[in-house]
Structures are given as structure tokens and as C-alpha cells.
């Protein structure tokens, strides 16, 4: 088994809150991330796939194809968007980085399998001091 | 003359547009940054001050004091905020990084002079591929 | 299971040596890190916790609370200190990054469990060319 | 078990292609990396070894010795070289980062075992957007 | 005056040598960079332009247009190429980073002037330890 | 004129204080950096030289020679040392980054002139949030 990781980036607005809670409650749970007027981040996404090196090609999967899949299914829906309001796979979810990682995993898993590799990890850096990893 | 730079960071939502233009016109000029539903960034701010090393202290100005000034006058007004709607010194301006740099300069210049140093440069990185510098 | 990592930093003086060895022996084993007059580093600490996303909150644990725990139990005892002489959990140990990682693990494990998450990894970068990881 | 990682760097020319294929076929499979006139990269190599902290030394293995092994067996054969034409352990292989990682693993495994540690991972970053990991 | 910088990257093969010198002489002057079988780097290019903020747009020049100019005139001629053999503006020159910076300046100066801004600096990082700046 | 910068790194212990002041006074002026038991940093040093490209060589000065000069005159005296007690050019000075930058300038200026280039800037990063620049 060998692991290939691609880094992609996107810049989004978001807000963490739950509709059924008061603004005060949301601030208590999510801190300044609950701001109703939004804030935003430069997110860095690392997608790791794994596979064997059998065959003559010498790679896990075509890295350009991986980039295309990530851009089509994830980046195009998040970059320069409001993830709470505009990103189909985040609608109705609390916009935590944890939920974002799980949702991105679900977006990518099948497409990568079709290329003969296996999705291994979705990692998202929200700031240089915080990151989330999800292994399915 | 010797130059001291402090780095601080903030995460904001913003949108680039001019009220007097149509949405279509704004998209033509500002591209995807015109999105009416906002997007956001992790901004990195570098504030450079200059001064002489006369006296016994061996520094340009107290670096902790510089940090306090930047946080009080700039970061607290931008971090986890919507700069178009919530940041007093950006209200009514197009939220470009250029305008942001000039506005931050104006916020800082006097406070730094009171500490005996001279503001030299405000630099803002919006993404790892773009930055703006302003020297007054 | 989902993994949350926080990065924190501290700057310390240290020296690697064992009391029962001669200065010459210490230099042979620890190289220039044995300098009796100390040297120091900017250390970068990555603390990874894991947990499930059950419940409505959408996160592993509150990231600000994790930051507080790390600062209270670790950073405040190491930053701008001499870790051989001033850091309670390092007294009497060889100040290698390996021993530091194990000691930090022991400082954090219980406090994180009380918050409902599980400590997964302590990673310490001593320079940009060297890092240590400990998984308990 | 505790894990020690060292980072080393090298700059090489390379080309991805298979002799038995036409230039057109190679471009279809390997994209612009098939350029017959070569291109090159600054590669960053991370070598992770593991071991216990038994004994009095307080480290997994001597970090300077690990650096020597990596430089002698890997960096000296790749840095400022053409890896397809000059690097003994890459001759006759497709110069993908995947094959490079496996080959470097084979170069290092025995030498590290002789020092009392176990090779755990070889990671290679080809650009800031792509990296490969191999765990044997 | 306000300054806008864009970062772009390219990966090239190159060799430093002068035809009229022996291989031995070239090695004496250019060290391991004289290798006749080539080597390569990930180059990072920073292009800085300056201008005023007069008018209503709030920017120096359109950052996307600047990206297009750099890609069309510079990156497309260098990325995944051999700069000694394939890059029109480097043919017949010693492939030092200094000469590369001056040549890139000459490629960009006019195109940027047509957009109403002024080219201020071309900076090239060849490795994380070396960079060149040229101000015309 | 063209500018060449080399990055070098060193790890030192230091303390900021003035002998004629009480410990309390030193803490008031230099904060936690006054700790009598030392602390330390990974310093990053950027040395910029300038010169013309006249002649056939195509470079400002030999980059390997610049590295040698910096290592011989600066790094070897600071790395894994206590700069207050062991670095000849810092003895008797307050160990601020400002004083360090001026002292390094004085160490390098003549040696670089002998190589036919001109020292332009000494920049020192003490942490990722603080740096000092000195232009002579």
C-alpha cells in the first residue's frame, strides 16, 4: 500500500450555530464563530488516497485526475461561497470543520473508487492552529 | 534606523462590490469576490515600525506594546467579523485588500508615534498567493 | 472517530545531559546539545484528540477548551523557561524531545478525558528538520 | 513506541516515461511530466523511525546518525542529479514519486535496523500540493 | 503608492555553465549546479506591481489579470520545461537565478504598463535558502 | 543592481536584561524575556547582498561562498550557544534581536565587500510573529 495526498485550497464564509438555539446559547457553545453576520477562512484541504503499485504505471492513481475530482465535487462548491447557504452538501448541518470533513469524505469516496484507488483520509486546516482529520 | 515587524492574524467575511453598480457589473470587475452571500479569508497582517537604537534599551519599541496596539485598534474590529458590515473603519469602502491596508495604516499611525516609533509598512496577505503593501 | 489537532508554541532553554556522565561523555552522546551553558528552541506542539460526532454539537470537543488545557498544563510551564530547571514535569529527566513528548502526554491525558475526548498524539517539532510523535 | 522524523531536501531533474511506449502515449499517461528534455523539483524527504525509550539515553536513536545515514545512502545520490540517469537505485524504473519512495525505503531499512531503530515511514513532497507516503 | 504582489510557481530543469569553458572550469565556478545531466527546482516567483488608488475601483490592478499575464508570458514557458533548451527568453544565457529574474522582468514590464500599473520587483526563490530580487 | 539573499538558522539561549537594573526592573522592561534562568529560540537569519551583473558569471556573488562567510563569522558563534555568555560579538550588550542584527551586520560587512558584493540587509526572525531588519 502506498499513499498519495493532494492539497487544495478554498476560501469560504461560514457561521456555526443551531437554529433551535438562541443567539446567546450559540455564542456559549461556538464562541465568536457564532457571529450571525458571518466570518470566513482560507481552508486547506488534504485528500489522501491509497492503493498498490501493481502494474507498470508506477503510481497509485493519476494525480491530475484526483485534482479534477476534488475540484469538481468539493472546491467548486465551497470556494468564494457561503458554506451554510450555498454548499449543497452542508445545507442543514452545523458548519463545523468536523462536519465539513465528513461531508467531503462522502462526496469523494465513490469517485475515487471508480479510479481504482481507496479514499484514506480527509484533512482540513481551518487556521494554522487547528486541523481536523477523518478516516471514514 | 532599524525595523521591527509583528505578525498578527484575523479571519473575516467580506465581499467586494460597489453599491451603485449592478450585480453583473460587480462580478465583471471583482470576479467571484463579488458574491453577495459573502466569502472569507484568514488574513495575515504584518506591521513594520522603525526607529533608532539610541538609549540603553536596545530595542525600537516594546514588542508587547506594539502587539497590544494592533490588537486593540485593528484585530478586535476584524477577527471573526464581517468587515463590510461590522468594522467601523471599513464602512462605506470597497473591501479590497488595498483599501484595508490604507485603513489599517490610518488606525495605527498615531498610536505608534506616541510610543516613540514610526509606522513604516502595513502588509496584508489575503491568500498565500496575494499580498498588499502600503508605506503611507 | 474524528481527530482534532491544535498547534501551540513555546520557546525554552534546555540542555541534554546525564548527571552521572562526564562532560566529555555527554558531548559524545548528545553532541552540541550537551552545552553546559544552555541553548534553546522555538518548539511547536501539536496535540491531537479523537472522539465521535454523536450528539448535536458537531464537534469532537470545544477547541477553545482544548487550547486552555494545553496552555494551563503545558505551555505556561515551558514558555520562556529553562525546562531542565523550571518545568516541574521535566525535573530529573534528560531533556530530549522524546522525554518531553511523553511527559506532555502524561500532563494532558486525564484533563482531556474529563472533557469527553481521548488524547491520540503528542507531536513536537524542535526545529524544521526534526520532530517526535508519541501515541501513548 | 515513539517516532522520530528527520526532514532532508534534494533538488533533482527527472522525467516520467516508459521506454516501450511512444512519446504520445507517455504524454497521455504522465502529462507534462513526460517532457523528454527533463524538468525538476525541490523534493522534501521525511524519514520516520520508531523505537522504545528503554535505557537511559532518552532518545529513539541518535538524530545526527540518522541524518548521516540519509545523506550517505539517499541525498548524495539524488541532489543536483538526474534521477533517471544518475541515481543507481532508480535506474530502469519509472521516476514517479511512488517508485522513489519505495526505493528510498529499500535503501534505508537495513542501515536503520543496525542502529537499533525501525524504519516506519518514507514521505516525499514533490511540490507543496503533492506528497507520497510509504510504510513498507 | 500601493504595492500588489502575486506568487506563482514553476518546476524546471536547468544547468549553470558557459559553453566556452571546460566542464572542470564550470564546476569550479558553479559547483554542483554545473552537472551536464541537469538538475531542477520548484521555483517560486513573486511579481510586485505598484500604482495609486485613484478612481473608484479600490485596487492597484485586477489581480486575476496580473495572474493571466504572468502565466502567459512566464510560467507557460518555464513550467515542466528545461529552461536552458526550451525557454525562449533564456536561450544563450547562463541559467542563474539572477539572469532569470532580469529576463522575467523584461518579459513582464510592458504588459503590466498596458494595464495601468508599474512593475516594481521580480523575486525568485530557488530553494528555501536562496532568493533573488530585481527592481529594474 | 540585483539582490541575493541567503537564509541560515541557529538555535541559541539568551536573556534580555541590563546589569545595572534590578530583576524587577528588567521584568518590567523586557517581560518574560528577562528570565534569569534563560530561554531560547530557533532564529532564522536572512543576509541580503547586492551587486551588478557585469561580467560573464551571471551572478552577484558565489552563493556557496556567501554561505561559508555567514557560517564562519556568525552561525558558528551562535548555534547551540548562550549568546549572552559565549558569543564574542554580543558580550556586554543587551541581547535584543535589534542589537543582534546590528552586531551581525558588523561581523559580515567587510568579508562581503572582499568578495565584490555589498551587504544590503540583515533580517532576523526570532519567532514566526517577530522580525527585525537592519540596513546599516
DSSP string, D22-79: -HHHHHHHHGGGG-TT-EEEEEEEEEEEEE---SSS-SSS-HHHHHHHHIIIIIHHHT
* Residue D134 burial by Cβ neighbours in a 10 Å radius (0-12, 13-18, 19+): buried
Query: Are the C-beta atoms of residues A39 and B13 closer than 8 Å to each other?
Result: yes
Taking contacts as CB-CB distances below 8 angstroms, the residues of chain E near F60 are 98, 132
Instruction: Say if the Cβ atoms of C37 and F82 lie within 8 Å.
Output: yes
Q: How confident is the model at residue A102 (pLDDT cuts 50, 70, 90)?
A: very high
Taking contacts as CB-CB distances below 8 angstroms, the residues of chain D near E80 are 32-33, 35, 39
Rounded distance between C-alpha atoms, residue E111 and residue E87, angstroms: 19
Name the strand (E) or helix (H) holding C61. Answer: none
Q: How confident is the model at residue F55 (pLDDT cuts 50, 70, 90)?
A: confident
Q: How confident is the model at residue B38 (pLDDT cuts 50, 70, 90)?
A: very high
| Residues of E marked as catalytic | 33, 80, 126
Q: How confident is the model at residue A56 (pLDDT cuts 50, 70, 90)?
A: confident
SS3 B72: helix
Instruction: Say if the Cβ atoms of F38 and C13 lie within 8 Å.
Output: yes
Rounded distance between C-alpha atoms, residue F36 and residue F24, angstroms: 11
ipTM of the complex: 0.95
B47: pLDDT strictly greater than 90: yes
DSSP F60-112: SS-HHHHHHHHIIIIIHHHTTEEHHHH-GGGTTS---HHHHHHHHHHHHHHHH
Taking contacts as CB-CB distances below 8 angstroms, the residues of chain E near F58 are 16, 93-94, 96, 98-99
Rounded distance between C-alpha atoms, residue E107 and residue C18, angstroms: 61
- Nearest C-alpha in C relative to A97: C59
Residue C55 pLDDT: 80
pLDDT tens profile C13-60:
999 999 999 999 999 999 999 999 999 999 999 999 999 998 889 999
Residue A55 pLDDT: 81
Q: Does B touch C (3+ CB pairs < 8 Å)? A: no
State how beta strands C39-51 and C118-127 pair: antiparallel
Q: How confident is the model at residue F84 (pLDDT cuts 50, 70, 90)?
A: very high
B56: pLDDT strictly greater than 90: no
Q: What average pLDDT does this structure show over F67-73? A: 98
- Point out the residue among E3, E6, E58 whose CB comes nearest to the CB of B96: E58
Residue B3 pLDDT: 98
- Nearest C-alpha in E relative to B97: E59
Cβ-based neighbour number of residue C91 at 10 Å: 10
Using alpha carbons, select from A104, C31, E39 the residue that is nearest to residue D62: C31
Taking contacts as CB-CB distances below 8 angstroms, the residues of chain F near B56 are 18, 94
Query: Are the C-beta atoms of residues F96 and F131 closer than 8 Å to each other?
Result: no
Q: In the predicted model, what is the mean pLDDT of chain F?
A: 97
Instruction: Say if the Cβ atoms of A6 and D102 lie within 8 Å.
Output: no
**Chain position carrying cell 487547528:** A130
Q: What average pLDDT does this structure show over F98-127? A: 98
The nearest CA of chain A is from the CA of B42 a distance in Å of: 5
User: Which three three-digit cell numbers place residue A127?
Assistant: 487556521
A54: pLDDT strictly greater than 90: no
- Point out the residue among C3, C6, C57 whose CB comes nearest to the CB of A29: C57
Residue D41 pLDDT: 98
Q: String of b and e for E62-81 (b: at least 16 CB within 10 Å)?
A: bbeebbebbeebbbebbbbb
E91: pLDDT strictly greater than 90: yes
The nearest CA of chain E is from the CA of B55 a distance in Å of: 34
User: Which three three-digit cell numbers place residue E29?
Assistant: 565556478
Residue A40, phi-psi category: left (phi > 0), alpha (psi -120 to 50), beta (remainder): beta
Q: In the predicted model, what is the mean pLDDT of chain E?
A: 97
User: In chain F, what's the furthest Cα-to-Cα distance?
Assistant: 60
- Nearest C-alpha in E relative to F44: E129
Rounded distance between C-alpha atoms, residue E101 and residue E95, angstroms: 10
Best mutation target, B37, B44, B86, B124, to test chain A (most A CBs within 10 A):
B37
Residue B21, phi-psi category: left (phi > 0), alpha (psi -120 to 50), beta (remainder): beta
Taking contacts as CB-CB distances below 8 angstroms, the residues of chain B near E4 are 98, 130-132
Check residue E15 and report its DSSP letter. Answer: -
Residue B55 pLDDT: 81
Q: What is the dihedral of CA C27, C33, C34, C39, to 10 degrees?
A: 150
Taking contacts as CB-CB distances below 8 angstroms, the residues of chain A near C7 are 128-130
D44: pLDDT strictly greater than 90: yes
Q: What average pLDDT does this structure show over B35-57? A: 95
Taking contacts as CB-CB distances below 8 angstroms, the residues of chain B near E2 are 98, 101-102, 132-134
Residue B54 pLDDT: 80
Residues 27-56 of A with CB under 8 A from B: 32-33, 35, 37-42
The vertex-D128 CA angle with D125 and D131, nearest 5°, equals: 35
Cβ-based neighbour number of residue F7 at 10 Å: 18
Residue C85 pLDDT: 98
Best mutation target, C46, C63, C120, C125, to test chain A (most A CBs within 10 A):
C63
Residue C54 pLDDT: 80
Phi then psi for D35, rounded to 5 degrees?
-45, 115
Residue F85 pLDDT: 98
Instruction: Say if the Cβ atoms of B96 and E5 lie within 8 Å.
Output: no
E55: pLDDT strictly greater than 90: no
Rounded distance between C-alpha atoms, residue A15 and residue B80, angstroms: 9
E20: pLDDT strictly greater than 90: yes
Residue E56 pLDDT: 84
B104: pLDDT strictly greater than 90: yes
Q: How confident is the model at residue F54 (pLDDT cuts 50, 70, 90)?
A: confident
Q: In the predicted model, what is the mean pLDDT of chain C?
A: 97
Residue F15 pLDDT: 97
The nearest CA of chain F is from the CA of E54 a distance in Å of: 31
Rounded distance between C-alpha atoms, residue E124 and residue E134, angstroms: 9
Q: How confident is the model at residue A66 (pLDDT cuts 50, 70, 90)?
A: very high
Residue C115 pLDDT: 95
Please pick, among D23, D25, D39, D80, the residue that the annotation labels catalytic. Answer: D80
Q: String of b and e for E117-132 (b: at least 16 CB within 10 Å)?
A: bbbbbbbbbbbeebbb
CA-only gyration radius of chain D, Å:
16
pLDDT tens profile D54-88:
888 999 999 999 999 999 999 999 999 999 999 99
Rounded distance between C-alpha atoms, residue D70 and residue B120, angstroms: 45
The nearest CA of chain A is from the CA of C44 a distance in Å of: 10
User: Which three three-digit cell numbers place residue A12?
Assistant: 469560504
Domains annotated on chain A, with CATH: 2-134 (3.30.479.10)
Catalytic annotation present for D33: yes
- Point out the residue among C98, C133, C135 whose CB comes nearest to the CB of D53: C98
Q: How confident is the model at residue E60 (pLDDT cuts 50, 70, 90)?
A: very high
Distances (CA, A) of C75 to B42, C67, C79, C111, E97: 24, 10, 6, 15, 42
SS3 F23: helix
Looking at chain D, the whole-number percentage of residues with pLDDT higher than 70 is 100
* Residue B111 burial by Cβ neighbours in a 10 Å radius (0-12, 13-18, 19+): middle
Q: How many residues in chain B? A: 136
Residue C56 pLDDT: 84
pLDDT tens profile C104-114:
999 999 999 99
Amino acid at each position: 500500500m502506498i499513499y498519495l495526498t493532494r492539497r487544495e485550497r478554498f476560501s469560504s464564509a461560514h457561521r456555526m450555530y443551531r437554529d433551535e438555539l438562541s443567539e446567546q446559547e450559540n455564542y456559549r457553545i461556538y464562541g465568536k464563530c457564532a457571529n450571525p453576520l458571518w466570518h470566513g477562512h482560507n481552508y486547506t484541504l488534504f485528500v489522501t488516497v491509497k492503493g498498490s503499485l501493481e502494474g507498470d504505471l508506477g503510481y497509485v492513481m493519476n494525480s491530475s485526475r484526483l485534482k479534477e475530482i476534488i475540484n469538481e465535487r468539493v472546491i467548486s462548491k465551497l470556494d468564494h461561497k457561503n458554506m451554510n447557504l450555498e454548499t449543497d452538501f452542508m445545507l442543514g448541518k452545523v458548519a463545523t470543520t468536523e462536519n465539513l470533513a465528513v461531508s467531503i469524505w462522502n462526496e469523494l469516496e465513490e469517485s475515487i473508487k471508480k479510479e481504482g484507488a481507496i479514499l484514506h483520509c480527509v484533512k482540513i486546516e481551518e487556521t494554522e492552529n487547528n486541523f481536523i482529520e477523518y478516516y471514514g
